[in-house]
């Protein structure tokens, strides 16, 4: 591994202004799948968002990183920490991989790089993930990573004309260490 931000399949890097087209494609694919229904956004809105992300300061360890395939250099998704409780030592994460790049191991490796950074370098104790209950692929990913289901918020989110449960999953820093120790044995 060349750096803490590079794995076998992915490299995590800052969002660059020219990434706006890929993020627009990712959002369009999600809208077509019916996963979310957001207001349409203009190309200029995506351009402005990417420019803002490219110069955004990391406050309270909240940030978004681009996920790039090491083999091709192509932007395949994003990973980030979007809520933190520094006093209690927790952060909430998310990962998004473009539809055409799913099931290739990018999300798992990007999340592992993020977890290692937040636990080892930033000294967080716990990571949380909130996943819509019908998103079986994401639930399976987080279980494979070693997350535990900690609760379910019934009918907590509303989209596509109805309410959906939200599954709360968590991982403690020592659980990542234990998982890594077992996989190296």
pLDDT at 57 over 50: yes
The residue whose two tokens read 């993930």 is 129
Which strands sit side by side in the sheet containing 126-132, from one edge to the other?
10-13, 63-69, 75-85, 90-97, 126-132, 162-172, 148-159
pLDDT at 185 over 50: no
Those residues with Cβ within 8 angstroms of residue 143's Cβ, 6 or more apart along the chain or in another chain: 149, 169
How would residue 37 be classed by pLDDT, with cut points 50, 70 and 90? low
User: pLDDT (tens digit, 9 = 90+) per residue, 129-182?
Assistant: 999 999 999 999 999 999 999 999 999 998 878 899 999 999 999 999 787 655
Predicted local confidence at residue 1, as pLDDT: 44
Closest to 8 (Cα-Cα) out of 71, 99, 87, 100: 71
pLDDT at 87 over 80: yes
- The span from the CA of 113 to the CA of 94, in Å, is 13
* Average pLDDT value for residue range 25-39: 70
pLDDT at 61 over 80: yes
Those residues with Cβ within 8 angstroms of residue 129's Cβ, 6 or more apart along the chain or in another chain: 92, 93, 94, 142, 147, 168, 169, 170
* Average pLDDT value for residue range 98-126: 96
How would residue 34 be classed by pLDDT, with cut points 50, 70 and 90? low
**How much is the mean pLDDT over the chain?**
90
């Amino acid at each position: 591994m060349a750096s803490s931000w590079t794995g076998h399949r992915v490299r995590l890097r800052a969002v660059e202004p020219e990434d706006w087209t890929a993020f627009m494609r990712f959002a369009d694919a999600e809208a077509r799948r019916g996963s979310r229904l957001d207001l349409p956004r203009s190309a200029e809105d995506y351009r402005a968002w990417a420019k803002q992300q490219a110069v955004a300061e990391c406050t309270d360890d909240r940030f978004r990183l681009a996920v790039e395939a090491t083999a091709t250099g192509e932007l395949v998704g994003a990973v980030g920490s979007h809520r933190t409780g520094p006093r209690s030592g927790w952060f909430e994460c998310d990962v998004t991989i473009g539809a055409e790049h799913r099931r290739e191991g990018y999300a798992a490796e990007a999340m592992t790089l993020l977890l290692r950074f937040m636990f080892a370098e930033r000294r967080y104790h716990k990571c949380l993930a909130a996943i819509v209950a019908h998103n079986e692929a994401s639930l399976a990913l987080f279980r494979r990573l070693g997350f535990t289901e900690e609760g379910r918020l019934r009918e907590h989110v509303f989209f596509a004309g109805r309410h959906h449960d939200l599954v709360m999953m968590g991982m403690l820093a020592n659980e990542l260490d234990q998982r890594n120790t077992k996989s190296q044995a």
